[in-house]
A = this chain, B = another copy of it.
Amino acid sequence: MSSTTSETGKAVPGRLASVYSEVQSSRLNISLPLPSVLKTSFNVVDGPPSSAAGNPDGIAKLFPNLFGQPSVILKAGDSGAATKDGSLKIGVVLSGGQAPGGHNVISGIFDYLQERAKGSRVYGFKGGPAGIMKCNYVELSTEFIYPYRNQGGFDMICSGRDKIETPEQFKQAEETAKKLDLDGIVVIGGDDSNTNACLLAENFRGKNMKTRVIGCPKTIDGDLKCKEVPTSFGFDTACKIYSEMIGNVMTDARSTGKYYHFVRLMGRAASHITLECALETHPNIAIIGEEVAAKKQTLKSVTDNITDIICKRSKLGYNYGVILIPEGLIDFIPEVQQLISELNEILAHDVVDETGMWKKKLQSQSQELFELFPQAIQEQLLLERDPHGNVQVAKIETEKMLIQMVETELDKRKHEGQYNGQFKGQSHFFGYEGRCGLPTNFDANYCNALGYAAGALLQSGKTGLISSVGNLGAPVEEWTVGGTALTSLMDVERRHGKFKPVIKKAMVELEGAPFKKLASLRDDWALNNRYVSPGPIQFVGPTANAINYTLLLELGVQA
């Protein structure tokens, strides 16, 4: 779009009838910097034998062929090993929710193979793991990939949430691998999908098939990470998009002087997004679910904490503010879990009528909690149940609930003469807006490198590794490239009576640098208005290559 453009956008052939904005077009043809090691000849060097994150004996039993294999790193050098295989046939699949940069992982794999294994073929499985099972794929070409370069979304091949779990499903995957004569599959996904990738790798290896499997760390939630995999892709972009909006709302709050904005942010399991957005924008309050759980806070104490700060701010003349809330907040509150399980039990057997007799079956703590909920939430809990008749916690709009609970508490304090301010709550949920944005320079570069790494690992015959790009605080040229044994990230969990391998979600560490930074600053933020407006993501100029605070702090780059 410019003052001389004569059409609203530019037609780009190939991407489902798409028309591109000027910004989208400008991103198509940028050249991405690569880690130096990927620009020369390299050797894939094994590290020491690996173990597991927990329960190594259990993991060894579940992965007899893969357990203990070393993680690897690429080192410049010319052993010729990297090109030993000639051309390859590789499948790639996107698994789970969207994250900015997914298309770049795919183009990275493709470009690597074009450069280093000429004549290779890349198949994109459509609609997630179901595409593997159904052998539903498209062969990727330069022309096919082009319109998706550095673009948001997963629409090149789309994603899905199916899992390859049952013996029949593994059989289907084997058939597809054989039919397409696959040398490898790259699974781009979160913790569950990478666990699944490892099971697939184990299964192929156990059957002496040549098909290798490499994972790539994807999730905007930022909860798939470890020493070797410093961050999951998409987190950087999503947090910056949310932070742009939060910064705008903060400026509005300060200009208007009369609203409390309660902003719920995506991230059901871990609160990394809320923490990162807080470090970027300096809200008056940021609730971190992991802290709520660790301190065994109740819903009443969470509400009271918010209300206390609102009262103090009112005395300073500020009847406005911004409060960040993680999507999964109420899942972190033990008493809520207790109430829900009691409710499910009661609803299965009793008549829930207006006499309220059924309430007497609740334990006293649960009864108190239920009465604390605003009426609309009570009704929602009782009426809107899932197909199994269970209460749907996920449907509760936590930000609206908190606004009502804070209102009630403020009214009480007003009557008691402890508060005489004005309170108007505005609710926001920032979620879908962030999952498919144009990837930041960081995510674009990181994903490209992850894709190249996956290509290199497959070419060198590796399986059961997750593509690992490190030293991310340094310029891209200095990034390290390798693969980490997926089994080394795993622990065993008992689910539905069975032992299952799991990659544990990386939760916010209360002793970690990002949370400690928040903890050291939040009292100041609460009462003084230290709002920061990060503004829109820039792709060129001095601010274009910034990376997120969480990563900087975890890398120790930042004090």
Contact B23 A535 (CB under 8 A): yes
A528 to B15, CA, bound (A): 12
Task: List residues of chain B with CB within 8 A of the CB of A3.
Answer: 473-474, 545-547, 552, 557
Which chain B residues lie closer than 8 Å to A541 at the CB level?
26, 539-541
Scoring A8, A261, A436, A559 by chain B CB atoms within 10 A of each residue's CB, the highest score goes to A8
A98 touches B1 (CB 8 A): no
Please state if A549 and B8 are interface contacts (CB–CB under 8 Å).
Answer: yes
Besides A98-B251, A241-B248, 7 other CB < 8 A contacts? A3-B546, A8-B558, A17-B528, A18-B531, A151-B533, A536-B536, A538-B539
Interface-side segment among A60-68, A109-117, A154-162: A154-162
B542 touches A26 (CB 8 A): yes
In the complex, per-residue mask of A66-103: 1 if CB is within 8 Å of any chain B CB, else 0: 00000000000000000000000000000000100000
Select one of B2, B21, B282, B426 contacting A247, CB under 8 A: B21
Q: For A529, list chain B residues within 8 Å (CB).
A: 16-18
> Which chain B residue has the least Cβ–Cβ distance from A252?
B436
Known: A279-B8, A437-B248. A538 touches B1 (CB 8 A): no
Shortest Cβ distance from A20 into B: residue: B532
Contact with B along A248-280 (1 / 0, CB 8 A): 110110111101010000000000000000011
With A3-B552, A8-B280, A241-B248 known as contacts, the answer to whether A21 contacts B533 (CB < 8 A) is yes
Cβ of A359 within 8 Å of any chain B Cβ, yes or no, is no
Q: Is A208 an interface residue (CB 8 A)?
A: no
Interface size class of A (residues with CB under 8 A): 35 or more
A2 shortest CB reach to chain B, Å: 5
A225–chain B nearest beta-carbon distance, Å: 18
Interface string of A386-430 (1 = CB under 8 A from B): 000000000000000000000000000000000000000010100
A542 to B558, alpha carbons, bound, how many Å? Answer: 33
- A→B interface (CB under 8 Å): 1-9, 16-24, 26-27, 98, 151-155, 158-159, 241, 244-245, 247-249, 251-252, 254-257, 259, 261, 279-280, 282, 426, 428, 432-438, 473-474, 517, 521, 528-543, 545-547, 549, 552, 557-559
**Complex partner residue of A535 from B252, B438, B547, B552, CB under 8 angstroms:** B438
A436 to B256, CA, bound (A): 10
Min CB distance A306 to B, Å, is: 19
Contacts of A543 in B (CB 8 A): 1-2, 21-23, 26
Q: Please measure, in the bound complex, the distance between the C-alpha atom of A54 and the C-alpha atom of B241, giving whole angstroms.
A: 46
Known: A26-B542, A98-B252. A152 touches B432 (CB 8 A): no
What chain B residues lie within 8 Å of A245 (beta carbons)?
245, 433
Say whether B17 contacts A534, CB under 8 Å. no
Chain B residues within an 8 Å CB radius of A152 = 248, 251, 533
Using Cβ atoms and an 8 Å threshold, which residues of chain B touch A434? 248
By the criterion CB–CB under 8 Å, are A252 and B432 in contact? yes
In the complex, A244→B534 CA distance in Å? 15
Q: How far is the CB of A442 from chain B (nearest CB, A)?
A: 10
**CA gap between A432 and B7 in the complex, in Å:** 30
List B contacts of A23 (CB < 8 A). 533-536, 538, 543
